[in-house]
Copies of this chain bind each other. A is one copy, B any other.
Amino acid sequence: MAEKKIGLQTVKFKNPPSIVSTASIVGPKEGEGPLREYFDLIISDDLYDEDSWEKAESKMAREAVRMALKKIGMTPDRVDYLFEGDLLNQITSSSFVARDLKIPFFGLYGACSTMTESLSLAAMITDGGYSDYAVAATSSHFSSAERQFRFPLELGTQRPPTAQWTVTGAGAAVVGRNGEGPYITYVTTGRVMDFGIKDANNMGAAMAPAAADTIIRHFKDTGFKPQDYDLIISGDLGQVGRQLTIDMVKENGYDISQNFTDCGIEIFDSDRQDVHAGASGCGCSAVVFCGYLYSQIKKGNIKRLLIMSTGALLSPTSTQQGESIPGIAHAVAIEGRI
């Protein structure tokens, strides 16, 4: 068995990589939500001085990486690898970041699981001795996602109660071989699960089986119990997906109901901001982690965090061809001290 692996899907780091800096940029709506004070930049117009939403998204993604590096006095030429992906077709948002910053680039596509996919790979490459500094990053934009995945905004289509609101935001984390934490101590890489959901307005339900599978696997592989974490947080399951996940995990003997929430629930005020089942998008767990959660770990308010971004691996074409929506979730354990 691979020497650094425990159980079937989990890696335990012997020299845990350190998240030495993060940055987050969000749109106006996210900037009115309960986590607003933790974001580095709230843009006042979702075009961000560009002439398309796609260009605005790429600019947010680029500036988040630049900002995370600048906080520690680093320049892009000192970064060994950029792990980044997004929701746009052919991940153009990320590719243009890589073009502008000239960092050796591994493009990823994990739908909304990208933040922990990129953190997982950056951590393995760093712990393995191939990198001193790697950046893990992702972004999404409400307006570019709506017109690509659902309907042109101009149509004014009504959204059902299970629908989620794609976060406009970008987050970037710098993973270093040396540093004073927070440390990445475990990663559990997800498998693709598909229980047959076909409704692109019910992504929470489509992703819940993958979320449950990864959480259960993480506990089985590590021997940890839910209470070993101060907080377990998923990416964008929303209200519907969160409850389904709690139920599925409980059927396997683990009760996470006391310390499990979802970035898509926390980022907006559901009473006030009318986002239906919650938020979604790669950017959701990215900005909640790079903004709020990172600061809470640094302050010692959260000592052990399990973050698990969740992705729905559909495309408009696959949905039109009658395919159901597969989901995936990658879990990353992050600790303030080791």
> Which A residues have a C-beta under 8 Å from some C-beta of B?
1-5, 9, 11, 51-52, 54-55, 80-81, 85, 88-92, 95-96, 98-99, 102-111, 117, 120-121, 124-125, 127-132, 148, 177, 189-194, 313-318, 321, 323, 326, 328
Residue of B nearest to A120 (CB): B106
Residue of B nearest to A14 (CB): B129
Contact of B9 with A104 in the complex, beta carbons under 8 Å: yes
A51 to B323, CA, bound (A): 12
By a CB distance below 8 angstroms, the chain B residues around A321 are: 51-52, 54-55
A90 to B192, CA, bound (A): 14
A313 to B100, CA, bound (A): 13
Contact of A109 with B108 in the complex, beta carbons under 8 Å: yes
Contact of A128 with B131 in the complex, beta carbons under 8 Å: no
In whole Å, how far is A264's beta carbon from the nearest beta carbon of chain B?
Answer: 19
By a CB distance below 8 angstroms, the chain B residues around A328 are: 95, 98, 105, 107
Contact of B95 with A128 in the complex, beta carbons under 8 Å: no
By a CB distance below 8 angstroms, the chain B residues around A85 are: 107, 109
A214 to B108, CA, bound (A): 20
By a CB distance below 8 angstroms, the chain B residues around A4 are: 128-130
